[in-house]
Chain A
Amino acid sequence: MSFSNWFTRRRLRQAATLLTISATLAAAGCSNLGVKPWERDLLAEPDMQLTVSGVDAGLDDHIYFSKEASSGGRGFGGGGCGCN
């Protein structure tokens, strides 16, 4: 196995470990978090949605997809263009 291969695998393992730890912490912590149904007034506002404008996000994702080697994260990375 070449060094770069080994390095990539090591990074993937690190990412997997980080994910497992985070998911465990999230699952353990989440049951104590949150609000009562009548406390959702602010969270229900359009400005508090995770993606406020799907159109803005879609346009930016398309620009960055065609200018960088990364895509996705918030949603599917996808293809859909011959620009990369």
Chain B
Amino acid sequence: MQLINDKKNGKPVGRALATATCALLGVQATTAMAKDQPGEWDVETALLVYSETDDRVQAAEPVISATRNFDGDKKLNLKLVADTLTGASPSGATPSDLVQTFTRPSGIGNYTVEAGEAPLDDSFKDTRVAVSGSWTAPLNRDYTYSVGAYGSREYDYISTAVNGSLTRYLNNKNTTLTGGLSLGMDLIDPVGGAPIGLSRMALRANNTEAQFDQEFAATRESDDTKTLVDALFGVTQVINRRTLMQFNYGVSYSSGYLTDPYKILSVIDEAAGANYGGNLIGADGNPIYLYEERPDTRMKHSLYWQTKYMLENGDVMDGSYRFMVDDWGITSHTIDLKYRWRLSNSYLEPHFRYYMQSEADFYKRYLTESEYNGGVPTVSEASADYRLGELTGMTFGAKWGYRLDEDRELAIRAEYMIQSNDGDEGFGKLTNHDLYPDTNAMWLQLSYNF
């Protein structure tokens, strides 16, 4: 839904005119990138390094995106992204006074979490490769269409999607209406097979290997699929010579396997006594952990509003707000602000993002003994995934870019994110532990465009 640059042909004259206009208006004439030239490729390359504190997820992600421009405003875009992830991720279990030993998702081996520590599953390791392509071309003076395809593959997940959109220009191209549809199909093949939702995690302690194998196999089902349908309707409006506004409504429906196969919940003892608020211990002498289970459909609605405004001095303000609501009971608000401070051949762009969400109806930090109900849970869905809980996130960042010439730009970007959770603090022994540790992440990106 980009504004189409009307001045693709005869660019030098256009640029000279723009520079002259800028000079007349006292605006700093920055070196504009010479994009969209027919017969040429515009290439964006980047390397992102992402790191969470406390030995959690670390990732490296190279990207290359190339756009070939053809006569008559036709464009082909091809994009390749790879990422390598390592590190640990919160399993969903609560910290405990006990040393906790969990079975790895594959069933091969265990991992141990010290007393009082946040349970992190350190089996997390993956490489993802994603390719996408899109073709955009005008149908006639008033309409442009775009079609695209996407495919990604990681060890336990394959994702595919096709999409299409139609854009209609009105009022001398001051108003742009866009409608788009995306259809996706994902195949999930979790390590060790997908666990049966709300089944008990098999543990090796107090069991023979044969007993363990039998118990583990009983909690498994085969791979699964997920389908996604996304529709998006947008209006982009030129307000005046310096202001551009966009308003989108998106609806997204997903169905199939929406559970995270690697997330679990702790069952907490409610009986008055020494273990009140501690892990519930089963008849086999082991603590009880259940695999999470989410609903098998989800409908999301989002409203998005963005405004760009160029100040008299040539700096650009970019603000957006997104409201999202879904039928899992989650409501979220996102505010994103950027200010591009333009210097002669470079720019500095500070960035701030604020995010808050309410918790899903089935979000539970833990299950109680009565909800566990001796192995016949009274709840049909439950997840302790902090990403479905009440969450507030703030990101502070900045980007500095240097335009080497009309075609080449070098940029560096750094972002720092702080996420904090809130919710039920538990009872008894649970109250001694931090059930909602913060997540802090930073990422650094180097980009080179030519």
**Known contacts A34-B237, A42-B242: does B441 contact A67 (CB below 8 Å)?**
yes
A42 to chain B, nearest CB (A): 5
The closest CB in chain B to the CB of A39 belongs to B241
Asked if residues A79 and B419 are in contact (CB atoms below 8 Å), the reply is no
Chain A residues numbered 29-84 whose CB sits less than 8 Å from any CB in chain B? 30-31, 33-37, 39-56, 58-60, 62-64, 67-82, 84
Asked if residues A63 and B443 are in contact (CB atoms below 8 Å), the reply is yes
Interface string of B417-448 (1 = CB under 8 A from A): 10100000000000000000001010101010
Asked if residues A67 and B439 are in contact (CB atoms below 8 Å), the reply is yes
Asked if residues B320 and A74 are in contact (CB atoms below 8 Å), the reply is yes
**Chain A interface: which of B96-104, B249-257, B280-288?**
B249-257
Which single member of A40, A45, A47 contacts B6 (CB below 8 Å)? A40
Chain A hits for B340, CB < 8 A:
47, 52
Chain B hits for A64, CB < 8 A:
355
**Chain B contact residues: helix, strand, loop or mixed:** strand
The closest CB in chain A to the CB of B403 belongs to A46
Residues of A in contact (CB 8 Å), total 59
Asked if residues A58 and B184 are in contact (CB atoms below 8 Å), the reply is no
Chain B hits for A33, CB < 8 A:
171, 174-175, 237-240
**Known contacts A26-B235, A41-B21: does B301 contact A74 (CB below 8 Å)?**
no
The closest CB in chain A to the CB of B306 belongs to A50
Which single member of A39, A46, A68, A81 contacts B393 (CB below 8 Å)? A68
Which single member of A54, A58, A70 contacts B332 (CB below 8 Å)? A70
**Known contacts A41-B21, A56-B445: does B355 contact A82 (CB below 8 Å)?**
no
Asked if residues B3 and A81 are in contact (CB atoms below 8 Å), the reply is no
**Known contacts A73-B250, A79-B186, A80-B184: does B238 contact A56 (CB below 8 Å)?**
no
Asked if residues B235 and A68 are in contact (CB atoms below 8 Å), the reply is no
Instruction: Give the bracket for the number of chain B residues in contact with chain A.
Output: 35 or more
Asked if residues A30 and B241 are in contact (CB atoms below 8 Å), the reply is no
Chain B hits for A50, CB < 8 A:
1-3, 236, 244, 246, 306, 308
C-alpha spacing A53/B393, complex, angstroms: 23
**Known contacts A42-B242, A50-B246, A81-B128: does B230 contact A69 (CB below 8 Å)?**
no
Interface centre among A23, A62, A69, A71 (most CB of B within 10 A): A69
Which single member of A8, A23, A53 contacts B329 (CB below 8 Å)? A8
Chain B residues numbered 169-205 whose CB sits less than 8 Å from any CB in chain A? 170-175, 180, 182, 184, 186, 188
Asked if residues B241 and A42 are in contact (CB atoms below 8 Å), the reply is yes
Chain A hits for B240, CB < 8 A:
33-35
Shortest 9 CB-CB contacts between residues of A and residues of B = A34-B174, A82-B157, A73-B304, A73-B322, A80-B159, A76-B230, A76-B182, A70-B332, A77-B252
Question: Which residues of B pack against A, CB within 8 Å?
Answer: 1-3, 5-7, 14, 17-18, 21-22, 30, 32-33, 35, 44-46, 48, 50, 61, 63, 65, 79, 81, 126, 128, 130, 150, 152, 154, 156-157, 159, 161, 163, 170-175, 180, 182, 184, 186, 188, 226, 228, 230, 232, 235-242, 244, 246-250, 252, 254, 260, 300-304, 306, 308, 310, 316, 318, 320, 322-332, 334, 340, 342, 347, 355, 357, 360-361, 387-388, 391, 393, 399, 413, 415, 417, 419, 439, 441, 443, 445, 447
